[in-house]
Structure formats: C-alpha cells, structure tokens
Structure 1
C-alpha cells in the first residue's frame, strides 16, 4: 500500500471502534516485469507459500497493531470479488459493503474513508457509500 503510513494512523485512531484487516493480493509490481525500480524484489507468486512470504514482508515493514495482514488465495478470489487491484479500501458492516473507495493508490482517499467511518459510527443505521462507484451495496462474500 503506497499510503500505508496514513492507513496505519487511521487504524491506531479507530481500532477501539472498528476492526481493520489488510488482504495481501497478487503482486502489483512483480520483479520479473522490471517496470518499477527500487521496489521490493518480489516475483509473481507461484504458490501460497510465496504469497504468504510476500505478505510477511509487508507485515515486517509496518507495525499494524490491531490490524491483521492476511493473504488472498491463489485463485485470487478476494481480489476478483472486491476489484482490489492494485489496492482498495472498504467499510463492511453486517456482511454488507457500506463504503467502497476508488482504486488506489492514487484515486482512493483516506480522509473520505475516515469521514464515512465517523458518520457510520455516529449513525449506526446509516449506509454510506462512495458516489463515484456504481457497484456499492453488494453483499460481502
């Protein structure tokens, strides 16, 4: 996550009110493509062990206390279901997506997500969505 430090601050601020999780999906900038210099040297994952090792690199880099880092399955089920590539922010309540941010790292807005989270915490019955996305409100799988 390009904005991992800002996300880390958000987790620290709201961990007592909400649960957070990071799902590590397929590698966006695999080493073999050579299109990003100075990035971590992570190749495309050929098996779950490699994906878990890559997720561990992220876990070692940041201290996301109260926020587990998990890995997607090798069939990329989470990535496909949530349109997560390369990264995406969601708020899920009662098994329903109530906020879907734009695709990251350049189009999503952590401030917008925080505002929606605060509004949801103040008004628990509210369903808050990002008006820029047409596929909000779908059931979490």
Structure 2
C-alpha cells in the first residue's frame, strides 16, 4: 500500500524464546541465545526464508543497539524520518495499533507530496 513511497525494514534482534532461555514446548524454531553475530545471522536467515516474509531484513549488532534504542523486544513498529524517530507504537505483538500506524504514515505521505 505504501511501498512506493515508504521504505519498510525488519530488524532482527535478540532471540526472545531461545532454547537456553525463556522457551516453551510449542516453539517452532529451536534457536539458542545469540552469543556472537555468527549465531544471529542464521536465525535471521530462518526468518527471511519464511514464505510470507517479503521485507528487507537487517540484523542488530551484538551490542543490541537497535533493540535498546527503539525498545524492539519483542516487537516494535517505528517511523524514522530523515534520521529522527517520529513515531513509536506500543510494544507488540499485543499492544501496537496498526490503524494508528497507518494514520501516521498517511499524514507523512500527505505532507511530503
């Protein structure tokens, strides 16, 4: 809907349900806590390989800079415009508001035309 005017990106961060951390039986992907970037990259590749995944994917540093700066754990939707954070939604997956995000994007697109 907005892909012709807005760039979307997914940032892969810490593994929230790691096998050696806070895990549960029904977890689909059996991934351990990322100890090095060599652990994080294959986990990101699993995400990127999912059939319905079509967005550009980047991987957070091992210092977890994106996660710490944007409150990404477990999920977060943000709008960054010209290097400045303009919108941060509620923490997902249960507390963000897609309609609010759409309204915000529509206002940005309207003002940038």
1:106 aligns to what?
94
Question: For 1:51-66, what aligned pairs fall within 5 Å after superposition?
Answer: 51-65=40-54
**CA displacement, residues 45-81 of structure 1 (integer Å, 9 cap, x when unaligned):** 011011010011100014443x311110111111111
Computed over aligned residues only, the root mean square deviation of the Cα atoms, in angstroms, reads 1.6
1:124 aligns to what?
112
1:43 corresponds to 2:16: no
Give structure 1 regions of 4+ aligned residues with deviation exceeding 3 angstroms. Answer: 62-65
1:17 aligns to what?
5
* Structure-2 separation of matches of 1:102 and 1:81: 15
**CA displacement, residues 77-103 of structure 1 (integer Å, 9 cap, x when unaligned):** 111111111110001111111111011
Gaps of 5+ in 2: none
Aligned residue pairs, count? 112
Gaps of 5+ in 1: 1-12, 126-141
- Secondary structure (helix, strand or coil) at the match of 2:20 reads helix
Q: When the two structures are superposed, what TM-score results if normalisation uses the length of structure 2?
A: 0.90
1:72 corresponds to 2:60: yes
Q: When the two structures are superposed, what TM-score results if normalisation uses the length of structure 1?
A: 0.73
